[in-house]
Amino acid sequence: MKKHGMLAGLLVGLVWTASASAAPIVVQDTYWGGKDNGYGDVIGDISKFDIQRLEVTQTETSFVFNFFTNFAGQSGSHFQSYTQGNTGIVYGDLFLASSWNPFGSAADNYKLDNASTGTLWTYGLVLNNREGNSGGAVSLYALNGANNADNALLSDEVMKGNATWRNGQEVLVDTQSATTSYLGDIGTWVVGSGVVSLIVDLSLTNLLSGDTLAFHWDMTCGNDVIEGEFAITSVVEPGSWLLLGVGLLGLGLTRRRLRHKM
């Protein structure tokens, strides 16, 4: 009985270890991205558009993305006449991939990196009801195109007129594209004081078997962009845990038979 108790305890310990939350990770905004039109990190009014950092936590397949930005609470409030449909500048979608491959280097703040030169994003998290500031659902899309222009609407497709914005940045998932496919609603987004938060479950993706997760987020003008990657805890699929449990149980029974033969 003691052996079986030890085996059960080992299984519980392994499952608990897999489900434990990783420590919160902070990614500061040191990314500029092109084309910055000579402004550097933030185009226009810093009090409107500055993104300071991302703070992210993981619990198994669940993630909380907290984007700290002066744009929180201002979606749809600015420059309606310079946007398609006169919606004003609104929150962008969150683009994800398993690894980050930006153009350039940290030394130049990746100032030439854009949708055509940088990372190919493989998933997009769409913020529903983005024109408001009361939050809504988050929908997951697979991005299957050969390049980001196949899958995304760029800042140049959202903005218009005699205005200055960061050109060439992916800002929205093109949900009407033949290369994007809807996978389901996976969470919610909310706005707090100085923060836009996405609370999502990424179990429908193939992003969680590796060591890192790459991301890209901005508002639809791209006046400030935060992009980068962070370490994640890889998640073993439930079937693998079942196989591990069966294997350990078999090992325990084999040892018991050998003891009885002795």
CB 143 within 8 A of CB 151: yes
Residues 127 and 244 placed together within one structural domain of the fold: no
Interval 188-207: pLDDT, tens = 999 999 999 999 999 999 99
Instruction: Tell me if 255 is assigned to some domain.
Output: no
pTM, full prediction? 0.84
Q: What's at 213, amino acid-wise?
A: L
Instruction: Tell me if 83 is assigned to some domain.
Output: yes
* Res. 9: pLDDT tops 50: no
Q: Considering its fold, how many domains does the chain have in total?
A: 2
Residues 6 and 56 placed together within one structural domain of the fold: no
* Res. 210: pLDDT tops 60: yes
Instruction: Tell me if 133 is assigned to some domain.
Output: yes
Residues 193 and 150 placed together within one structural domain of the fold: yes
**15 vs 113, more confident:** 113
Query: How far apart, in whole angstroms, are the C-alpha atoms of residue 66 and residue 55?
Result: 5
Q: Which domain holds residue 1?
A: 1-21+237-248
CB 75 within 8 A of CB 133: yes
Residues 67 and 176 placed together within one structural domain of the fold: yes
Residues 134 and 174 placed together within one structural domain of the fold: yes
Q: Is the previous residue joined to 111 through a cis bond, with omega within 30 degrees of 0?
A: no
Residues 122 and 144 placed together within one structural domain of the fold: yes
Interval 61-98: pLDDT, tens = 999 999 999 999 999 999 999 999 999 999 999 999 99
DSSP string of the chain, one letter each residue: -HHHHHHHHHHHHHHHHHHSPPPPEEEE-----S--TT--S--S-HHHH-EEEEEEEEETTEEEEEEEETTTT-TT-S-GGGBGGG--S-BPPEEEESS---SS-GGGTTTT--TTTS----EEEEETTTTSSS-EEEEEEEE-SSSHHHHEEEHHHHB-SS----TT-EEEE-TTSTTEEEEEEEEEEEEETTEEEEEEE-TTSS-TTSSEEEEEEEBTT-SSEEEEEEE------HHHHHHHHHHHHHHHHHHHHHHHH-
The predicted pLDDT at position 254 comes to 44
